[in-house]
Structures are given as structure tokens and as C-alpha cells.
Amino acid sequence: MADVGVISFLHNDNYGSTLQAWAMQQTLSDLGLTPVHLNYRPDSVEKVLNQVRSGNSLRVLSDSLKRNSVKRTEPGAVEKAAAFRAFQRESLHLTAPCRNKAELRAAAKDCPLLICGSDQIWSPEWLNPVYFLNFAGPGQRKAAYACSLGVSALPAERKQRLMRRLVEGFDAVSLREEEGLALLRRIAPDCPACVMPDPVFLVTPDRWQALASPPKQRGGMVCYLMGDAPANWERVAALSKSFSRTTLIPVSAQSYHQPYHQEAGKDPRDWLGLLLSADHVCTDSFHGAAFAVLLGIPVTILRRYRDGESSSKNSRIDQLLRHIGHGGDDTVLPDEKTRQAVERLRKMGRSWLKEQIVRVKE
């Protein structure tokens, strides 16, 4: 029987989301607990109700439709979705699917500790109260680990009021970015919180290497772009001239039609193996950059959003660079300073989680 229930994003076919969930389960197991991820797959009624109650923008629905369109039209995306389901069945301890708040409460009722996080589960753009553990029952301890708001600007007053109510009753709160921490302190001044690293940093590089699938070939540049900013594709083209081969892991509709060798339909193990095979990684993804830094791979980190825009989510990259003390250009090369920074992050995050476990057992 599980003694800690965890909720985070699981069904967006995103490598970082799935691997941070794996890292959280591994770490909690290392600390002596039996974790389970609450398998939240909201039905259509739940989605509509949350859209109305949380006041989320129609852009959220538009973005979802675009992603679903890619899944329907690109064979590689269809294969990728199936590969993710297989990886999660084999590598994660999951509850039965939970379609709504009531089913989440039932699935988690025997867990003395509930943890939400990590990833952008607290983003005001797609606010959903279940990711604030609003289904917790009496006596259950609630902790938020490295939850990300993603944005750097305050949401509308309506959402601020909702978020203020939702963070009440948490026993411990940590955010993933300093920008998110600053916003939360303005939204809920009485909520004590701190910054913690993404769960992928809780696991040592050798364990990630053991999880990775052996690559078919090594060398060259591996490119993993989530967005389609024209300037970023131009940068990829310029960088690719320095390498004998450029391998692209496609995500967006546009990326499936770029003139590079494609590695589509891969599961998280394959994705890790591709990164480890590279002489250089080019990415606009937070987790793509985080894994390159963690695994000691040279990486060029591109900006997916314009700095200064209210919807910019560049704070995730900014926090990563602050964590490792990198204040230079957009390329990070492995060195001893970075390795030590990664080790400090691992110890800091595991210590915070251990403290929550001790309090539950008191």
C-alpha cells in the first residue's frame, strides 16, 4: 500500500514531465516511502467545469487542439504517444485513472502524505485546483515540491484570489523558480515558501545513464525544440554546420518537416539515450537543458519566448542558469563548477523531501 500520493502532469507526452515523475518516485523510494502517482486523466465534463471555474483563457483550448492535431497527422507523434503509455506502465507506480476530484480523493485516501509537483502544474494560464491538492482529506499532510508558475507576471485578480485560497492549508511549499516565489509572496503573503530544484536533479547521473536506451550511433548535434520561433531554427541551421550530423527530436508540426535526420516516436528512455549520444545539444526546452547540464553534455540553450512578455516562461531557463552560476552566453560547457552545483541541488532537494517525511512520522 502506498504511503505518499504524488500528482503532476503525466499525459502530455512530454519527456521532461514523465522523467521528473520517475525521478520523484525513485527519490521517495530511496527515502523509505512507497509512492504512487495519482493517475489524473480528467473526463470532458471535468475539463469544461475547470475551464469555467478557473477562468482559463480559450488559448489553453487552442493550444491543446494544436497538439492533438499533431498527434492525429504525424505518424511519429502517434508512435510517441503509445511509447509513453508503455513506459509509464512499466516504470511508474500509478493508480487507476482518476477522472475527477472525487476519484482522486478516493485513490489518495490512505496516503498520510500528498505531494504536488513538479513541473508547471501551478501555472495561472491553465489553473486547475486539483494540482493544489484540493481533494486532500482531514489529517493528510500536503506538500508542494518545486511547483512552477512558469510566468513572471501576476495573473488576473480573480485567479490571484483562487490561488490564495488554494495554498491555504499546505504544510510545506516550494517553487521551482525565484520569479514564481516572488509572485506567490504577492498573491499569498502568509504562505512560507522556498525554491527547490526540479526533481530530475534529485537523481544521480549514473542512474539516468542506466535508465537510458543505448543509442544506435554517437556524435553530432541533437536538437530538441518545443517551439517554432524562426530565429531559433536559424540558429539550429548555423550550429549544424559545425557537426557532421544533426539529429532532430520533433515535437511541433513544423519540426516534423525540418531538413534534419528525425528521431520520432521515441519513449523517454530513447530520448535520454539520444541526448547522451550527442557531442552537443541544442534546445529551447527547460528539461532538455536541465538534462544536458545534469549529464555533462555541452548545450546551447535557446529562448522560446520574448523576454519581458507577460506570457514569457523564460524564468525556467533563468533559474537553471542561476542554479549553476552561469551568467555568460547561451552555451553551457561541462566543468567542475557545474558538476558541484548539480550535486548541491541534489542534496538540497532530497533534504527538503526528507524533512517532510520526518514530519509525517512524528
Residue 172 and residue 277: Cα distance in Å, rounded?
A: 39
Question: The domain 4-202+345-361 is classified under which CATH number: 3.10.350, 1.20.120, 3.40.50, 3.10.50?
Answer: 3.40.50
For CATH 3.40.50, the residue range(s) in the chain are 4-202+345-361, 207-342
pTM of the predicted model as reported, rounded to 2 decimal places: 0.95
Burial of 49 (0-12, 13-18, 19+ CB in 10 A): middle
The fold adopted by the segment(s) 207-342 is Rossmann fold (3.40.50)
State the DSSP H helix or E strand holding residue 360, giving kind and residue range, or none if neither: helix 336-361
Residue with C-alpha cell 504562505? 191
Q: Which residues of the chain have a pLDDT value below 50? A: none
For the stretch 260-281, pLDDT in tens is 999 999 999 999 999 999 999 9
Cell of 38: 495519482
Q: Which amino acid belongs to residue 217?
A: Q
Burial of 89 (0-12, 13-18, 19+ CB in 10 A): exposed
Cβ neighbours around 72 below 10 Å, total: 9
Sign of the CA dihedral running 264, 269, 270, 275:
positive
Residue with C-alpha cell 518537416? 257
For the stretch 99-156, pLDDT in tens is 999 999 999 999 999 999 999 999 999 999 999 999 999 999 999 999 999 888 899 9
In this prediction, residue 10 carries a pLDDT of 95
